[in-house]
Chains A and B, each alone.
Chain A
């Protein structure tokens, strides 16, 4: 069995937990795992503001509560990305994608800053709207092919998935993975969100890479 990401090393089939490890999915999985470990051991960045006109500066402290919450969201986002990387079931894939989306909302929203929270609100609405094409695509794949298993979908035994359905899936993932744009607009990458905001970019990158594989194999 040849797939786009190389021949799978191992396919775990347990209930609907269809997981497959091909060279492609394993590399993405390891990337998500390593960055989740980084999020576990990382300490928050302290933002330093320089007082204008003087020789003074002051450092902003991140409260323990905020640190815990942001770390929790980053780790949850890492787990969700890992699940999305290795799953071989289209509906589970869309579920993990929306879990990544809502964790990204949490990472962005945890910063006590007015314009950051406005950005998080806007991103939350986009992530919410993106679930419609995302789950719509999964439902239409099940209706047109009768299966949600990627292993069966690439075996050519099932009817082809219509291109418009693939487009809906890609658009849904785009909406869920739009977090880095909002984080960048809210200038989170410098201090307020660092280093946990890295999980936003990484998870978005990973789900984009994975959806390309999914769309090409099904």
Chain B
């Protein structure tokens, strides 16, 4: 009887979303109670902050326009990582030398540090992510146009 009642409830597909949300919540509570998870120190982007640097908090160390040491996800697969403009455009470098606030704008213009590191080390991600966006736009525009 109870199984009948449960199956009658979940046969309504509008009930799946609350059930799924409940499962996610329960699992997140379990995850919070299992904290702290062990943290692996050798991370891809080491967190060393230098508050005096004009590039703070994006300063990864090393002088621009020469090769800098960056940590790759797969170092053996990206032998040329670190060569490509060393992550600053000339304009960025000018701004960095004249103001103290480049760290607040650096992701918002071409050649931002984060973008270039991303393209070098996680190239396929940057292809698949826009693909997801394009598919979403295709669905939205199709649904909108057919009225």
* Residues on A facing B (Cβ under 8 Å): 13-18, 65-66, 69, 72-73, 76, 83, 89, 91-92, 95-96, 98-99, 102-103, 105-106, 109-110, 112, 117, 119, 122, 125-126, 129-130, 132-133, 140, 142-149, 158-159, 162, 164-165, 167-168, 171, 174-175, 178, 181-182, 185-186
Interface size on B, residues (CB 8 A): 44
Asked if A76 contacts B135 (CB within 8 A), the reply is yes
Tell me, rounded to whole Å, the shortest Cβ–Cβ distance linking A93 to chain B: 10
Name which residue of chain A comes closest to B119, CB basis.
Answer: A15
Cβ–Cβ contact B142 & A165, under 8 A: no
Find out whether the CB atom of B24 lies under 8 angstroms from the CB atom of A103.
Answer: no
Whether a CB of chain A sits under 8 angstroms from the CB of B52 is no
Q: Quick one: closest B residue to A102, CB to CB?
A: B135
Q: Do the beta carbons of B76 and A126 come within 8 Å of each other?
A: no
Q: Which residues of B contact A147 (CB under 8 A)?
A: 73
* Alpha-carbon distance A52/B40, docked complex (angstroms): 68
Nearest B-chain residue to A171, judged by Cβ: B27
Option from A106, A112, A143, A144 in Cβ contact (under 8 Å) with B139: A106
Residue contact A168 to B13, C-beta cutoff 8 Å: no
Q: Which of B21, B37, B76, B136 contacts A165 (CB 8 A)?
A: B37
Give Cα A112 to B135, complex, Å. 19
Contact across chains for B125 and A91 when beta carbons are under 8 A apart:
yes
Complex alpha-carbon distance, A167 and B30, angstroms: 10
Which chain A positions have C-beta within 8 A of B132? 95, 98-99, 102
Q: In the complex, what residues of A have CB within 8 A of residue B129's CB?
A: 95
B13–A119 touching, CB < 8 Å: yes
| Nearest CB of chain B from residue A136's CB, rounded to whole Å | 8
Question: In the assembled complex, which residues on chain B have CB atoms less than 8 Å from the CB atom of A89?
Answer: 73, 124
Most-contacted residue by chain A among B34, B39, B43, B142 (CB, 10 A): B142
Whole-angstrom distance between the Cβ of B22 and the nearest chain A Cβ: 11
Please, how many angstroms separate the alpha-carbon atoms of A66 and B11 in the complex?
29
Q: B139 to A17, Cβ gap below 8 A? A: no
